[in-house]
Chains A and B, each alone.
Chain A
């Protein structure tokens, strides 16, 4: 099994300093704990879903894994190689070859494509940077990628503004695939798209995964799409993973009170099934220097005195179901 692990994240932390205005200089007043002690592994060909509300640290975690943001501490292993070591070695060839394996599809297809480049240039730029394809094969490879994501050859001469949101997201996916990656992070790839277009992109991601044996991290706040795309789900709250389990377990037998509330909050299209909604009081507290006890404590209706004294760790309370809650084993209703 161990051999199949593509990505392993250990005790990953990312803190952003917050400054306060002083008399002359500003001074550090604390830090935003965007990601705090994150641990997980992903098997080859699987999809891990990262869910949570805005500000829970999903995107920061993803960017830290790819070293787009250097982490504060912790370790990331990609196929057994220490990612941070490679980036700190400043060995350009090694960094490039690692970057080739890990790609990112950004949330907003409107701002992640250069408006002054044609689609052909956008997709061929990775060829130029990585040099993994001989120059005379560039155009044919570019057309192949376009067709792969469901666009036509004539689209290659156009500029991004000539495309709709769904088509732009296809271009972004084609660009990410241009380097033949093994691992792809899709950061809310469908949240800015219309409902009828969403299904197209989700199916495309699924088909590409089967075809190229890709491993995904799928970030979303829309739980209904997560169920369709993911094998495993990590629920984040205020920089922490509060529950990590197989997708069916998360949806059918959620254990953490936050996961329960999150799932019940999704408006359901099933008729006559609206009774047992859990409405969370209050809002997500500030991630600046969070308290040393359970971060969900102020909004949790099941809290006990222990919750205000100790910080729960993410433990395997059930087989393949990790929960950071003291009352995980109890039936809470």
Chain B
């Protein structure tokens, strides 16, 4: 078996809107290894979610995948037929959405939603499927699973709904799980519960996971490696420790500094000036250059490619070498 379970190479997903072509994902390359958790980090509009939707080929209209390769276990998902994809979605690659209250169907009971997925992909009768659903709800920590299976989504709290969504995603024992901001809408104490649960289940089911988030704290707790995205491109990929100890891309560096830390004293926060660019007309060259304090004229002209800083550490900055030296001086 190959060590890499998912390899995305130069993926381009554009949305053709009346205002212009939105280049939501523009040349993204990343890989997920077997058994690891990859943290996919970026602000809103950086293309994190569109990347995950592209892998499952469920990009909503008018979005279109216009180029690149998505290799899952060595097979290109972009060349598969719709029928073949349907066998992969949910069964081999599952997705947990950000908002649990809209990702569950309000008019069906929890039981029928779980049974539907199980029977869709596995050749078992309804009775066994119900049993399996109950088993899954027990695993994700829903008390009185047998009784609560008959309930409808609105009878569950946000945290409980997210547990149901996780149970549904796990129902066919996928090998790869995309979790798209799974705890953003939850309170901190519930967030801690869910993260704990996801960590347990990942090892229990022997899955690889892509954890999409904008919260660096969650990344520090959960991820083995991190890919940072900005404006539809990858800035930096490295091990989790490297991102926190010596990030090389100016955006990653600035992002780390801008996060208020619970342990630090009260003072001015370092800021990233300006706003996230409009992806219909993104800045030329490096997309971060208008907000980058290390930018030089060359950044405006040349598009930076992912370069190897060291083993397992890639960065897309033309001047990472000089910047690393400057950072060391600071």
By a beta-carbon cutoff of 8 Å, the part of chain A in contact with chain B is: 53-54, 164, 166-167, 194-200, 202-203, 206, 221, 223-225, 227-229, 247, 251, 261-271, 274, 277, 279-280, 283-284
Contact = CB atoms under 8 A, between A and B. Distances in A.
Given A196-B43, A196-B255, A164 B275 contact: yes
Interface of B: 43-44, 157, 159-160, 187-193, 195-196, 214-218, 220-221, 241, 244-245, 254-256, 258-264, 266-273, 275-276
Given A167-B275, A195-B43, A227 B264 contact: yes
B262 A251 contact: yes
A280 B194 CA distance: 11
A82 B147 CA distance: 52
Given A164-B276, A195-B43, A228-B269, A279 B192 contact: yes
Interface secondary structure of A, over-half rule? helix
A271 B246 CA distance: 13
Given A164-B276, A261-B189, A269-B216, A228 B255 contact: no
A264 to B, nearest CB: 8
B261 A279 contact: no
A221 B264 CA distance: 18
B188 A196 contact: no
A262 B189 contact: yes
Instruction: Give the interface centre of A196, A202, A229, A274 by most chain B CB atoms within 10 Å.
Output: A196
Contacts of B259: 195, 224, 269
20 contacts: A53-B188, A164-B275, A194-B43, A194-B44, A195-B43, A195-B255, A196-B254, A199-B269, A202-B269, A203-B271, A227-B261, A228-B267, A265-B189, A269-B216, A269-B256, A270-B220, A270-B261, A271-B241, A280-B193, A283-B190
A262 B275 CA distance: 32
Contacts of A53: 187-190
B272 A199 contact: yes
Nearest to A150: B273
Contacts of B159: 283
Contacts of A279: 189, 192-193, 196
A266 B218 CA distance: 9
Contacts of A221: 187-188
B258 A199 contact: yes
